[in-house]
Structure 1
């Protein structure tokens, strides 16, 4: 099968070999059909080449859709007891309300103005429970694949608010940065949904249309009150890269609004750690390592370092599940290597700095 430069890969291509990051993690599995957003993820993580079937490959779109549906049903039938315990909280109640409002907003924004005051009121209610939100621990009660954009929006809002606090940005910006996270992908509401989920290859015109969600977003927010220009610019700029390789304007460094730099990190993190019908959720620790190592020169380094340091600042004794299925607890974290703590497993100390083939799959409690 041909090996293709990521810059030449089109949505709809079928991967014929696992895409492995330099750290050894699997970014995408063999057999996956790339959606438009997946191509952006490959670029964000600086993957050079992938092996794909030719344009006339063997993938059958009906089979892909059928398998994806079966995977989704199978995943929904599995109940994780620890998730049920963690989801019984006022934070989850407010989160679910926020999902409903943002879903309705996406569906109506092309025909009516955004219910910005309703969005703000619910966002404030949600953020009032921010003390109970931990970036690496939180899981939605339910996650349907068709609701992915809405979950990504709400989680990006929460995480962006946290990052703004951690980075020491002025308090007056915290709520606006949360709004930026909530509305960064609102332009997708004007993109033909069949393009966003099309299993076949997109032609150049279709690729350009998908990328226009950034300009569509700015246009939709241009006359909205109660948000500032940083929120609007985030919708436009969240795919810009500090080295000028992003889109739509190929801006560099200081040309990119700092809201957009924050939301870009939150967006990539949640894009990789949310469960999808065609891809299992990635380990949050593995994604942090990928962001740290493979986004060098692409994302704001201060935002990235702050996000990783603060999100992994857990108490010793925190219970976790390793990638090999064993359960243990964190006993020591070296702040120079925050994603690779020492773990006590059945009386034995596992040093993740030395055992590179292992990583933390999930925080249990």
Structure 2
């Protein structure tokens, strides 16, 4: 029986091996189909495969209806998220300007801003690690606040904070609230900061802590994480220069989210970098700067969201991400678009993903 990969179900039995354009076998004959095989076939763009009329259970195989599946492509919830996200950026921008004028932080107002976005994390998989595509040079700072909050909340929940994850998200958006007390010319500067200006920026962590210190609705753990979100495991961070055992776990989450989003976004004085290249750089310094286990979880989640993405490689060729092993999430297996050649980036250290073209 010949069917399209989208019609397969787990338990189908392959009767003829599947080859790519380069004549290399993708899946061997007599393979019992699992979800991972269906995913690989879809990524390789295979149109027809031959399977048995019987499943391994002995039941008759009933192919899925492709027409029904094709109607389930774009979730309305995802469109709602984009609308909520863009609205939140503009509302956060308005809040921040009020803080610049001396207004206190209204935590209830901030919760109302973020809770609808946090609720989106519950029921769907979002490209949170690709939020840079919504950011702009002009409004980078406000996109950054919203994105760090979302990524931090999601990562906190991913590692098991079933109750505190919203608090971690709120800490993420409040981490830079102290920037409102800096000279506006520093925030708006398009070129690199001078040493003196950078020293001023480094004060924002302490100022942020002072601005939230007396907010009863925030836990002491959240307040501490706001103070410590620029601390690093080796003591090279600021404002206190504390080391690994003195840094609160919430702060370690925000540190990763903050660094990652900042490096993947285009800014007035710096071009954006590929999420994969950024993550690889962060992993290299993981043992001295970031919590390694936390960062590894972060990296694996990034690739889970990015399988099937069309990418541009550092050699100028286009490829599709096919599979990523848990132990090497940033160097996945890819398929070249021009000749269907399959390459493991783990075996090609000089080659890396330069740019995400489309999801």
Q: TM-score, normalised by structure 1?
A: 0.70
Matched with 2:112 is 121
Matched with 1:244 is 235
Contact 2:132 2:261 in 1 (8 A): no
Shift of 1:138: 3.5
Do structure 1's residue 158 and structure 2's residue 140 form an aligned pair? no
Shift of 1:317: 4.1
Choose between structure 1 and 2 for higher RCO, CA contacts under 8 A separated by at least 6 residues: 1
For these two proteins, the number of residue pairs brought into alignment is 278
Q: Superposition RMSD on alpha carbons, in Å?
A: 2.5
Aligned equivalents of 2:111, 2:313: Cα separation in 1: 38
- Return closer, same or farther for 1:146/1:357 CA change in 2, 3 Å cut-off: same
Matched with 2:314 is 323
- Return closer, same or farther for 1:324/1:88 CA change in 2, 3 Å cut-off: farther
Matched with 1:183 is 174
Unaligned segments of structure 2, at least 5 residues: 1-74
The Cα offsets for residues 72-129 of structure 1, whole Å up to 9 and x where unpaired, read as: xxxxxxxxxxxxx999811111111211221122111242122321221221111222
Matched with 1:107 is 97
What secondary structure, in the 3-state scheme, does the structure 1 residue paired with 2:128 have? coil
What secondary structure, in the 3-state scheme, does the structure 2 residue paired with 1:129 have? helix
Query: For the pair shown, which has the larger CA radius of gyration, 1 or 2?
Result: 2
What secondary structure, in the 3-state scheme, does the structure 1 residue paired with 2:259 have? helix
Deviating runs (4+, > 6 A) in structure 1?
85-88
What secondary structure, in the 3-state scheme, does the structure 2 residue paired with 1:308 have? helix
Contact 1:319 1:328 in 2 (8 A): yes
What secondary structure, in the 3-state scheme, does the structure 1 residue paired with 2:138 have? helix
Aligned equivalents of 2:269, 2:316: Cα separation in 1: 22
Matched with 1:149 is 141
- Return closer, same or farther for 1:200/1:88 CA change in 2, 3 Å cut-off: closer
The Cα offsets for residues 171-214 of structure 1, whole Å up to 9 and x where unpaired, read as: 2211000001111111111111223427476354x443221111
Matched with 1:357 is 350
Aligned equivalents of 1:316, 1:210: Cα separation in 2: 37
Matched with 1:276 is 267
